[in-house]
Amino acid sequence: MFDLDVDDASSFHEDMIKITDRLPTPEEYRRVRHLVLQQLPSIGSPITDNQLAAVLDLCPHLETIVLSGVPDTTDRAVVLLAERAINLQGINLTGCCQVTDVGVLELTTKSLPLHWIQLNGVNRITDPSVSAIAKTCSRLVELELCDLPLLTPISVRDVWSFSRKLRTLRLANCSLLSDKAFPSPLYGEFFTDVGNEKPLPPRPITWLDTLPPLLLRHTAENLRVLDLSNCKITDEAIEGVVMHAPRIQSLILSGCTLLTDRALESICRLGEHLDVVMLAHVSSITDGAVVKLARSCFNLRCVDVAFCRNLTDMSVFELAGLKDLRRLSLVRVHKLTDIAIFSLAEHATALERLHLSYCDRLSLDAIHLLLRKLEHLQHLTATGVPSFKKKGIHRFSDIPPMVYDQNQQAAFRVFSREGVIRLKNFLNKEDKRRRDSEAQNIPFMPRSDDKLDLY
């Protein structure tokens, strides 16, 4: 009898299915374990909240669900899901703008074994929902809260305080977040009294300014991915984060325009753990800080310093020496010259993706050397680089997006996989024609086609 029960359980689990981009049929209601409604077919009518609610009420064994392809989703569907799917481990409500605190709070009151929650762009979500998630979902390892205009430091402080198992935390584009949302570095003045000489604190401007520093006695040892893009944070927040989460592997700070070299010096403490750092538009950083970062975090695989106008070839010299560097973005780093490209060609042998758009001092000869040396390069962007206006090169570029205007399409130069190889072969051909012309004392005439004729 016992063996029969085991066999029945085994056959039950084997019979469970995953359904993608469609609603389950009545025969599948009790078999579906994973439901992914993400990229629905453009033909046919979209799934409505009524249809979704009717189905969720009959699917008791759901463990994960993605509803980003059903923007019509409302609290009713989420409430039904919370009531019926008692084994729910993951939910993605990205872009479901009609969902509010009502639905999210219902998820937190059912003691569901949630491991990951994605609420990106659910713009009616407020602090009570996020605080409830932090305090009740003890198994949570992934939390995404991007593009939430009503989110304040109050609830994010609860995330740092209670969500001890988090591996991924994304808070990009939350405009109300400030340093008060993050752990504070443990400065001595928080614990000692310096007598009558201590200056008076500045008068608070808003109620958020009255929050005390977030001092935590534990560390976020499990946190590996942190995205704070476009948050209004300063160097002090980064210092506190690094002290509290010393094993971060991916740190995304693009658009955090208030950061300076001091933030990079704090990031250096992550050392061998850090492999992805995104600093686009952090325009105050300088070569000295990037050099320290490259020498301290020597396992970096992906670096983005686009629009960092103070950087020069010196930064690229150091980044080129990273043995595992796979992706590098140098978009609009105007001070770069061919010397930086030569350095990448000689040392960054593992590079797979390189972004050089609007670096207007680069020559085609330097790029040619780069293409010959970097055997693993699969993607190159050179939009807006004057030397890439040479006739014939546009043939190897990807097709520009239709939304681009005429000038943008004309400047578009993005080469992927086969396009990179064809560009290299074209430049090899031109180089051979130049040498043959010199050998025969014939004036060299560039060609836009792939023929080797000297005339």
Instruction: State the pLDDT at residue 201.
Output: 59
Strand pairing of 414-416 and 379-381?
antiparallel
Q: Can you spell out the DSSP letters for 113-163? A: ---EEE-TT-TT--HHHHHHHHHH-TT--EEE--S-TT--HHHHHHHHHH-
pLDDT at 316 over 90: yes
Instruction: State the pLDDT at residue 192.
Output: 41
- Per-residue DSSP letter, 196: G
Q: Which pLDDT tens digit goes with each residue over 129-154?
A: 999 999 999 999 999 999 999 999 99
Distance, in Å, from the CA atom of 118 to the CA atom of 95, rounded to the nearest integer, reads 10
Q: Which residue has the tokens 């130069």?
A: 413
Helix 364-373 and helix 338-347, axial crossing angle in degrees, nearest 10: 10
366 to 251, 346, 385, 398, 442: CA distances (angstroms): 31, 11, 12, 21, 24
Instruction: State the pLDDT at residue 432.
Output: 80
Across the range 210-221, mean pLDDT stands at 90
CATH 3.90.226.10 corresponds to the domain 12-142 = no
Q: Can you spell out the DSSP letters for 403-441? A: TS-HHHHHH--EEETHHHHHHHHHHHHHHHHHHHHHHTT
Please list, in sequence order, all residues whose beta carbon lies within 8 angstroms of the beta carbon of residue 295, skipping any fewer than 6 positions away: 318
Q: Are 367 and 343 in contact (CB under 8 A)?
A: no
- Per-residue DSSP letter, 335: T
Q: Which pLDDT tens digit goes with each residue over 86-129?
A: 999 999 999 999 999 999 999 999 999 999 999 999 999 999 99
Strand pairing of 64-66 and 32-36?
parallel
Please list, in sequence order, all residues whose beta carbon lies within 8 angstroms of the beta carbon of residue 52, skipping any fewer than 6 positions away: 23, 37, 67, 70, 72, 73, 77
Q: Which residue has the tokens 């995404």?
A: 144
Candidates 123, 168, 58; CA nearest to 104 is 123
**Widest CA span of the chain, in angstroms?**
94
* Predicted TM-score of the model (pTM): 0.90
Instruction: State the pLDDT at residue 4.
Output: 40
What type of residue sits at position 190?
A: F
Token code pair at residue 9: 């359980």
Q: Can you spell out the DSSP letters for 280-319? A: TT-TT--HHHHHHHHHH-TT--EEE-TT-TT--HHHHHHH
Using DSSP, state whether 9 is helix, strand or coil.
helix
Q: Which pLDDT tens digit goes with each residue over 349-396?
A: 999 999 999 999 999 999 999 999 999 999 999 999 999 998 889 999
Residue 212: exposure state from Cβ atoms within 10 A (0-12, 13-18, ≥19): exposed
Distance, in Å, from the CA atom of 235 to the CA atom of 268, rounded to the nearest integer, reads 13
Instruction: State the pLDDT at residue 445.
Output: 63
Q: Is the dihedral of CA 176, 179, 184, 188 positive or negative?
A: negative
Q: How confident is the model at residue 247 (pLDDT cuts 50, 70, 90)?
A: very high
Residue 15: exposure state from Cβ atoms within 10 A (0-12, 13-18, ≥19): exposed
Instruction: State the pLDDT at residue 69.
Output: 94
The secondary structure element, H or E, covering residue 109 is helix 101-109
Residue length of the chain: 455
Distance, in Å, from the CA atom of 214 to the CA atom of 377, rounded to the nearest integer, reads 44
Q: How confident is the model at residue 209 (pLDDT cuts 50, 70, 90)?
A: confident
Mean pLDDT taken over the chain: 90
The secondary structure element, H or E, covering residue 327 is strand 327-329
Token code pair at residue 175: 């405009």
Q: How confident is the model at residue 452 (pLDDT cuts 50, 70, 90)?
A: low
Please list, in sequence order, all residues whose beta carbon lies within 8 angstroms of the beta carbon of residue 144, skipping any fewer than 6 positions away: 94, 117, 118, 119, 120, 168, 169, 170
pLDDT at 199 over 80: no
87 to 94, 107, 255, 312, 371: CA distances (angstroms): 21, 12, 38, 53, 52
Q: Give one word for 51, left, alpha or beta, with left for phi > 0 and alpha for psi -120 to 50.
A: alpha
Q: Is the dihedral of CA 73, 75, 78, 83 positive or negative?
A: negative
Residue with the larger pLDDT of the pair 433 and 353: 353
